């Protein structure tokens, strides 16, 4: 596997260094490349060296840094823990990286109002633990929840398996405190679940990847923890049967709290990595959860199971114990490690199509795999039509990498032809920036760029990300 090349940056001018040193103590201002390196990459494996790193300790320090970067004309990239896969927190233009890792305080919990206020650097897992003390939870549950921050989750509008029933980050935040690119402090939203005063800046900032404002605090909407959860695994002879079952499950009133899909290739890879008792001949798999009250759970389970039954079903298995639940999930959890083991290069896209178009998407991806000679493994959050499409290749083989690039463009064309979107939950960052114009019309992009200029008039916030031409 090749070593990623680090994009270097020149040292900061002495005048800029003096201003930064006057504003921040040395233990929270890094300028030595050895200290800055850890803040120059994310889970996309892209790397670029920042000219300086600031570890802010408060909202006021963030506001002061944004103002300073405006005066100095320095790019400013805000980041949490760098778990994103799109290069959204890589400082490709140098400048200053603002780490919010020290802003990790939970400010207030109001169980009766079902809300939690916290700083942007709080880990998702810590929010879940605090909410759990009151019988509540925050809906977004990305795989990285133990390591990713609330600010990062909001920046890319993270989702996860529970989004099928409870929505994504955008659906589960009530309000924000943020600093625009002009250095202006704003508060958005309110502390109630209903509120229509003014423009909805909260939903605008969520998913904007730090290009419009730096989120420093968030008021999160919490939900009651269900009394019980039951897990069902449905194995099918082929992808078409599984995809049609997804549409049936989502077409009846009992919405599952998770509905995960794995194609036959994904099942085989995961089973080879860690055997979990998948029946022979399984060409696709659905992993479903239902949750609710003790009195209602069995009725919900029957409804979802009845919808999952149909042509091509090989086995429908319900977990009776916690151990059996873990066993049913084991195949899904074994998948990512198995892919890393067999493919030095994994291009992981999170495309999303209407649920009824999933069969066409999977069939089209199979055709692209054959035509380009690229192995494509598909799994994901089928209840939302959110498919994690993995193109596997050897980065040392130029022909394969060229084929991956060509195949990826056709994957995106296929998704858009099916009325889908290029990203369901990972965001755009650098990886998909050049394709955004395929999905969003020029006039609409013009409005978005105008919003960027209004909130970030000097273009200092996370330049080169999310939209082409900014």
Looking at residue 467, what is its pLDDT?
95
Share of the chain above pLDDT 70, in %: 97
Please determine, for residue 31, whether its predicted confidence score (pLDDT) is greater than 90: yes
| pLDDT 10s digits, 445-464 | 999 999 999 999 999 999 99
Within a domain: residue 207? Answer: yes
> Does residue 333 carry a pLDDT above 90?
no
Per-residue pLDDT averaged across 85-93, rounded?
95
Residue 30 has pLDDT above 80, yes or no: yes
The tokens for 175 are 């309000």
pLDDT tens-place string over residues 202-247: 999 999 999 999 999 999 999 999 999 999 999 999 999 999 999 9
- Is residue 246 in a domain? yes
The CATH number covering residue 75 comes to 3.30.43.10
- Is residue 182, in this structure, part of any structural domain at all? yes
Is 438 contained in some domain? no
Residue 246's pLDDT is: 95
Residues facing residue 189 across a β-bridge? 175
For residue 434, the Cα-to-chain-centroid distance in whole angstroms is 19
pLDDT at residue 199, rounded to an integer? 97
Tally of domains within the chain: 4
Which of 164-173, 177-186, 268-277 is predicted least confidently?
A: 268-277
Going by pLDDT thresholds of 50, 70 and 90, the confidence category of residue 1 is very low
pLDDT at 340 over 80: no
Rounded CA gap, 37 and 40, in Å?
Answer: 5
Evaluate whether residue 439 is within a structural domain: no
The H or E element containing residue 150 is helix 150-156
Do the beta carbons of residue 420 and residue 357 sit within 8 Å?
yes
**Quick one: 111 and 217 in the same domain?**
yes
pLDDT at residue 469 tops 90: no
- Flag whether 462 is in a domain: no
Q: Give the range among 11-25, 264-278, 400-414 with minimum mean pLDDT.
A: 264-278
Of the candidates 79, 123, 81, 101, the residue with the CA atom closest to the CA atom of residue 220: 123
H or E element that contains 287? strand 284-292
> Is the pLDDT confidence value at 288 over 50?
yes
Confidence at 5, pLDDT banded by 50, 70, 90:
low
1 within domain boundaries: no
* Residue range 339-353: mean pLDDT, rounded: 82
Boundaries of domain holding 305: 228-336
Instruction: Tell me: pLDDT of 335 over 80.
Output: no
For residue 381, what is the domain's CATH number?
3.30.70.2740
User: Alpha-carbon distance 159 to 466, whole Å?
Assistant: 18
The structure's pTM equals 0.93
Distance separating alpha carbons of residues 365 and 352, to the nearest angstrom: 13
**Dihedral, 234, 235, 240, 245 alpha carbons, nearest 10:** -10
Q: Are residues 387 and 322 in the same domain?
A: no
Domain end: 304, 336, 368, which one? 336
**Given 336, 366, 398, which residue is the final one in a domain?**
336
CB neighbour list of residue 156: distance below 8 Å, 6 or more residues apart: 84, 86, 88, 169, 207, 209, 425, 426, 427
CB count in 10 Å sphere of residue 67: 15
Residue 4 in this model has a pLDDT that exceeds 60: no
Q: Is there a single domain that holds both residue 52 and residue 158?
A: no
Asked if residue 465 belongs to a domain, the reply is no
pLDDT tens digits for range 377-388? 999 999 999 999
pLDDT at res. 2: 44
51 and 111 assigned to the same domain: no
Mean pLDDT score across all residues of the chain: 94
DSSP string for residues in 245-261: HHHHHHTSSS--SEEEE
């Amino acid at each position: 596997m090749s070593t990623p090349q680090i994009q270097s940056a020149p040292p900061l001018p002495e005048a800029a260094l003096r201003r930064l040193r006057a504003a921040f103590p040395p233990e929270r201002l890094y300028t030595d490349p050895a200290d800055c390196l850890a803040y120059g990459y994310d889970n996309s494996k892209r790397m670029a060296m920042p000219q300086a790193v600031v570890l802010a300790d408060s909202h006021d320090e963030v506001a002061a840094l944004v103002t300073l970067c405006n005066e100095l004309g320095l790019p400013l990239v805000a980041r949490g823990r760098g778990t994103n896969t799109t290069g959204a927190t890589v400082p490709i233009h140098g400048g200053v990286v603002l780490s919010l890792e020290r802003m990790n305080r939970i400010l207030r919990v109001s169980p009766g109002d079902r809300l939690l206020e916290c700083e942007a650097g709080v880990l998702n897992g810590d929010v879940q633990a605090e909410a759990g003390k009151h019988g509540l939870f925050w809906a977004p549950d990305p795989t990285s929840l133990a390591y990713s921050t609330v600010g990062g989750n909001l920046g890319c509008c993270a989702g996860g398996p529970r989004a099928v029933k409870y929505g994504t980050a955008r659906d589960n935040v009530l309000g924000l405190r943020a600093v625009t690119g002009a250095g202006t402090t704003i508060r958005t939203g309110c502390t109630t679940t209903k509120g229509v005063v003014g423009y909805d800046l909260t939903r605008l900032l969520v998913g904007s990847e730090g290009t419009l404002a730096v989120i420093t605090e968030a008021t999160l909407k919490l939900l009651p923890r269900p009394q019980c959860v039951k897990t069902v695994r449905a194995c099918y002879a082929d992808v078409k049967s599984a995809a049609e079952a997804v549409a049936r499950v989502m077409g009846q009133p009992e919405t599952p709290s998770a509905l995960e899909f794995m194609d036959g290739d994904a099942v085989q890879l995961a089973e080879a990595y860690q055997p979990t008792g998948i029946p022979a001949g399984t060409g696709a798999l659905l992993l479903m959860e239902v949750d609710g009250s003790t009195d209602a759970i069995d009725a919900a389970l029957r409804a979802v199971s009845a919808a999952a039954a149909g042509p091509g079903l090989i086995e429908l298995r319900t977990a009776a114990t916690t151990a059996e639940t873990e066993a049913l999930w084991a195949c899904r959890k074994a998948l990512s490690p198995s892919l890393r083991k067999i493919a030095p290069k994994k291009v992981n896209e999170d495309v999303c199509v209407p649920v009824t178009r999933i069969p066409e998407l999977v069939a089209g991806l199979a055709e692209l795999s054959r035509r380009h000679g690229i192995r494509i493994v598909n799994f994901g959050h089928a209840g939302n039509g959110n498919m994690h499409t993995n193109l596997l290749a050897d980065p040392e083989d130029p022909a394969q990498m060229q084929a991956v690039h060509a195949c990826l463009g056709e994957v995106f064309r296929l998704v858009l032809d099916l009325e889908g979107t290029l990203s369901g939950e990972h965001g755009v960052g650098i990886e998909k920036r050049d394709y955004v114009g395929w999905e969003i019309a020029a006039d609409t992009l013009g409005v978005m760029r105008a919003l960027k200029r209004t909130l970030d008039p000097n273009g200092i916030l996370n330049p080169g990300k999310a939209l082409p031409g900014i």
